[in-house]
Amino acid sequence: MNNKGMKKNGDKQNSIGRSVLGLSPLFLLLLPNFFPSLFSPLSRAYPRLFSEWNAPKPMHLNLLEPALRRRVTPDHVDDDDEIATKLWSPLPDQGWTPCPHSSNISPKQSRGYIQVFLDGGLNQQRMGICDAVAVAKILNATLVIPHLEVNPVWQDSSSFADIFDVDHFINILNEEISIVRELPTEYSWSTREYYATGIRATRIKTAPVHASPLWYTENVIPVIKSYGIAAIAPFSHRLAFDNLPSDIQRLRCKVNFQALAFVPHIKLLAESLVSRLRDPSSRNREREHINLQKNRGVGKYVVLHLRFDKDMAAHSACDFGGGEAEKRALAKYRQVIWQGRVVNSQFTDDELRTQGRCPLTPEEIGLLLAALGFDNNTQLYLASHKVYGGEARISALRKLFPLLEDKRSLLSAEERSRIDGKASLSAAVDYHVSMQSDIFISASPGNMHNALLGHRAYKNLKTIRPNMVLLGKLFLNKSMEWSDFKQAVVDGHKNRHGQIRLRKEKQSIYTYPVPDCMCKS
């Protein structure tokens, strides 16, 4: 071969090499689609493959190392034992009980039909459903089973009937309002697609946030009178919490705490999880070094709602220990998604933590639980859709609490297939498991935290509310001793274990059900 031919062949090989190198990033991006199990939040393979590139380091080694050395099963009673015993004790009677509902008044002749279109996740939609029933009562209208929008974050298209028991919903409320599954034939044109293709006279788009009953009577009743139907969208947070008649408030409570029941197969799946959490000895043969018999919480479990996805991490504008690469990635995500509208980014990390505005990382929530008195025999259930950083981020929490479980570890592949790819159904399972738990704790405020805080208060169940301001300041102190940290945490959470708090003006009735939903016993 002459020099010219050799050069041509060499150029061709170099070109192929450059093409292969150019395809490498694409290959890495597509790899999770071909091998999803390697990238699941609790996958054991995940850290070995990728997290070492930019694995988040422990942020609080001064606390983590002594926390890991804490005693597992003390042989004598001391202050730590008394604290732990109180942790597992149920809440005493606090003098409040659910108010009776005036369900003996049949609905009047309906004026027409009301439709609502609800966005957000499961718990935001849940609150919207309660408000929709209240608005239908205020307007004396027939409610069409609410339409749940496709969630833009999780891309979940689950309908009301996929999540909630429609028959139960209608039967519980049939003496309060009229509810139909579908519109009569003459109104079948009134669909979500119909309202998405143009301006429609029957659509109400101007409902203000926390609107009063008077706004609805003045603005919606005329539409119903003219057309026989009104569709309200958007509808999230479109009814005030204050200055409403007590019967309307109690109706909202009745919907939230009685009428909204999950479909049977969701409850059955959730009960399977509860059963396996209550009896860990049947599935922890490989963990025989854990002395379950001496565990003060044997047969009990804690649900940890670990709200730590990428969306939340970016929006908080806090530093989570992932180094400069993580900071740049979150800043870019924040800019693309919110285009500079994140006010928190104007503050330094220290300022945000001092103000209690940084969500707790898995490491930090683990340290909180350890300081409160939970030992590493504690059965911990992780209620979370996806954890930003995967197993590398969870590793410190797992070291502190080896009996850490979630749906992936407790359910079979066949069981998981019933909810895979359906964030609302997955959240419904976690909600039911959380309501059955001995203790519930959330790593940061959010819709699920708020919904469960209220529902568990209604049932007088123990719920630990992290003191975010206190913890932010404690975690900034890198020289604090474990004993001092533990004492500060215990002292700062004495009245944050589910004690009843009266709802204040503008606060949600679904988060604080007293005194609107509950009466003095």
pTM over 0.75: yes
Letter string b/e over residues 306-343, b meaning 16 or more CB atoms within 10 A of that residue's CB = bbbbeeebbbbbbbbbbeeebeeebeeebeeeeeeebe
Question: Using one digit for the tens of pLDDT, what is the confidence trace for 481-513?
Answer: 999 999 999 999 999 999 999 999 999 999 999
pLDDT at 282: 62
Question: Using one digit for the tens of pLDDT, what is the confidence trace for 373-385?
Answer: 999 999 999 998 6
Q: Which residues of the chain have pLDDT under 70?
A: 1-55, 71-81, 101-107, 153, 282-297, 385
Show the 3-state SS of 314-361: HHHCCCCCCHHHHHHHHHHHHHHHHCCCCHHHHCCHHHHHHCCCCCCC
pLDDT at 55: 67
pLDDT at 108: 75
291 phi/psi in degrees, rounded to 5: -85, 90
pLDDT at 29: 44
Q: In whole angstroms, what is the distance from residue 145 CA to residue 114 CA? A: 9
